[in-house]
Copies of this chain bind each other. A is one copy, B any other.
Amino acid sequence: MPDYTPPAPKSERILNAAEELFALHGFDGVTLRGIATAAGVDVALLNYHFGVKKKLFEVVFMRRAEILNEARLNALLEAEASSGGRPSLEQIVSAFLRPIQRFQLTGDEGWRNYLALVGWVNSSSVWGEEMMHKSFDPLVARFIEALKKNMPDADPQRIYWAYQFFSGALTLTLAQTGRIGRLSDGLCRESDVETVYDLMIPFVVAGFRKLCMEHPEGGA
């Protein structure tokens, strides 16, 4: 047989199909047969490679989490290095967001699906908690540390709450619900990745400033 680009191994095709479907319909809205059909493989293969359904979901979720975490950490470290250990608020928030934007801009559909999935999990009450905690919270804690260092006089509670609002703004955008497009009658497109972070960063930074820097610790 002449050399040709071999098709992705079936285990990978399963993960890609699962990624897309889970992002679209959530855990319970997807059937193993649906994934198998989308991947063009037999149902039993899912169990052979990944065990039970929940385990498959975890593998999908973890697959890109480490890559994203590493990219974010590097961005933060670089911001710290280039600022003599005193990164600005903009730099910290950017280090959290720009890697996401970079992955989205590659045009890789897998990343788009995955990030929508993260948005879904983050808003999911029962499911999300443990999975987000295991895969993202260590890095988030590192970012919050940087925020605390940047605003040493701020009430820590306010920093956490501001991060919560920040996380919500990001999460909804990742989820790709299409609602803002409909609401703005096409004026805003969630797929417009080039501009959304240029807007999200100043929005969030202003919120942090207002909440954490205009009240000394202990203030109401």
Contacts and interface: CB of A to CB of B under 8 A. Distances in A.
B177 A124 contact: yes
A24 B28 CA distance: 12
A61 to B, nearest CB: 15
A119 B177 CA distance: 12
Given A125-B116, A184-B157, A207-B207, A179 B24 contact: no
Interface in A29-44: 29
Contact of A168 (B129, B169, B220): B169
A1 interface: no
B168 A171 contact: yes
A155 B198 CA distance: 14
A146 interface: no
A88 to B, nearest CB: 15
Contact of A210 (B140, B187, B202): B202
Nearest to A206: B210
Interface stretch (A70-78, A99-107, A158-166): A158-166
A91 interface: no
Give the one of A26, A27, A164 with max B CB within 10 A: A164
A132 interface: yes
A175 B24 contact: no
Number of this chain's copies in the complex: 2
Contacts of A172: 122-123, 164-165, 167-168, 171-172
Q: Chain A at the B interface: mostly helix, strand, loop or mixed?
A: helix
Interface residues of A, number: 66
B157 A187 contact: yes
Contact of A129 (B141, B163, B177, B207): B177
Given A29-B28, A168-B169, A168-B170, A177 B211 contact: no
B123 A165 contact: no
A164 B119 CA distance: 14
7 contacts: A120-B123, A123-B177, A132-B179, A160-B187, A161-B188, A164-B173, A204-B207
